[in-house]
Amino acid sequence: MVGLGLNGFSAGMILTPVLPEIIESVYFKEKLVEGEDDIVDGIIGDKASGLYNSFISLGIIVGPLIGSGVYAILGDNWNLTCDIFAFMAFGYTALFIFVNVLPDIRKEKA
């Protein structure tokens, strides 16, 4: 139960802020200003949203396949499989916080 709770919490923390970060990164890389051209803003938003949703869908398809493989490798131990995936998702969330969120907080304080 703890593993599933951690998995759900971590998924929400990872998936929610990713799309705005993708769009912001495109503007930064291409040296564009958001709001300057509505057509460009729409194109960037559409393409980023399409890619984002495509990869989420790919994860939804591939995730159970990998999960069932890990489940079979662990000798049909469902609890351990859920715990492994929950801690992996929690690790990805911690990495996101340390790499992305904390530097932004430090910039705002400075």
**Cα separations in angstroms, 68 against 3, 4, 65, 73:** 16, 16, 5, 9
Residue 110 has a pLDDT of 66
Mean pLDDT of 23-35: 88
Of the pLDDT bands very low, low, confident and very high (cuts 50, 70, 90), residue 91 is very high
Q: Angle at Cα 19 formed by Cα 103 and Cα 22, nearest 5°?
A: 65
Q: What is the pTM of this model?
A: 0.57
Cα 12 from Cα 14, distance rounded (Å) = 5
